[in-house]
Amino acid sequence: MTVRFDGKVAIVTGAGNGLGRSHALAFAARGAKVVVNDLGGARDGTGQSSEAARAVVEEIKAAGGEAIANGANVANFDEVQAMVKEAMDAWGRVDILVNNAGILRDKSFSKMSVEDFKLVIDVHLMGAAYCTKAVWEIMKEQNYGRIVMVSSSSGLYGNFGQSNYSAAKLGVVGLMNSLAQEGEKYNVRVNSLAPAALTRMTEDIIPDPRAGGTLRPEPVSAGVLALCSEDAPNKFVLCAGAGGYSASHLYETKGIYLTQDQQTPEGVLENWDALDDATGEERLTAALKQTEKFIKAALADLDQNG
């Protein structure tokens, strides 16, 4: 099986540098027409320039591909809608969206300003929501769409000094969880990526200086293209870096049922080890599954004890 994107149109945000650039080049190399979006700001979101996006477009065109540069700020819905309109005017469809754009404003929570917290949320989470909203009806009407939310191990597991970034990056996974269900019957599949690569976003936090050679962006792009292929999964968190690939899943323990006289703070604490026991834990597919699990346990007790 060869993965190709001939006739498909892909929008990659934050595609002027690093991982986004690698994704855009990879899509183009396999036949996609690409909107190379990049505000062109610094790592902290300041500044603006179209130079990087245009350079990627020229690289794609030099290799025989089709691409257009776009400087929309993903945190501005009007600009995002204009970007999608530009793609539709040029090529008549949008098949793929990779929500890669992001910034960093790292500080401990005590030292972080509310403005810095909000800006990171606006770019990562609201930016992903805005871009997805702008293509959602197009993809539904086409009965085809592939969307990748770019998460992070910081969002999945936490990282000191990144409360804003971590909140945003777990937020996009929550967005994926619901949209994957809403888009399923329209063949719109929504997945998430937790990448590890040496880029300007991570250059000062990679612990081992020898890692630079292994943390190339291209292996991560291979995972992105897999998530955007015809045979892509749905509602999947793919972790990728240095040639390694894994899945991240949220599990819930089987838990316990406490009788009414035990349903107190003391009763919960006294049974903490049992409720946290991993034996029989499972992956729940939707929010209601948790409610159903608890109701089932309660009704079973009612049937047994009245």
Distance separating alpha carbons of residues 120 and 75, to the nearest angstrom: 10
**Rounded to whole angstroms, how far apart are CA atoms 301 and 299?**
5
**165 flagged as catalytic:** yes
Does domain 9-247 match CATH 2.40.128.30?
no
CB 275 within 8 A of CB 253: yes
Helix residue ranges per DSSP H, 30-126: 51-62, 77-91, 114-121
pLDDT along the chain (306 residues), means of 10: 97 97 98 96 72 97 98 98 98 98 97 98 98 99 98 97 98 98 98 86 54 83 98 98 96 97 98 98 95 94 84
Cβ neighbours of residue 214 closer than 8 Å, sequence gap 6 or more: 242, 243
> Residues 151, 197, 84, 115: is their CA dihedral positive or negative?
positive
Cα–Cα–Cα angle for 158, 162, 165, rounded to 5 degrees: 90
**DSSP-assigned beta bridge partners for residue 147:** 97, 190
Q: What is the pLDDT of residue 262?
A: 97
Pick from 192, 82, 70, 171: which is nearest to 126 by CA?
A: 171
Burial state string for 119-138 with b = 16 or more CB within 10 A and e = fewer than 16: bbbbbbbbbbbbbbebbbeb
Residue 301, pLDDT score: 87
Q: In the chain, how long is the greatest CA-to-CA distance?
A: 76
- 64-87: b (≥16 Cβ within 10 Å) or e: ebebbbbbbbbbbbebbbebbebb
Which among 130, 144, 165, 186 is annotated as catalytic? 165
- Predicted confidence at residue 42, as pLDDT, reads 73
Distance CA 277, CA 157 (A): 20
Question: 3-state class of 173 per DSSP?
Answer: helix
| Residue extents of the structural domains in the chain | 9-247, 260-305
β-pairing verdict for 96-99 and 237-241: unpaired
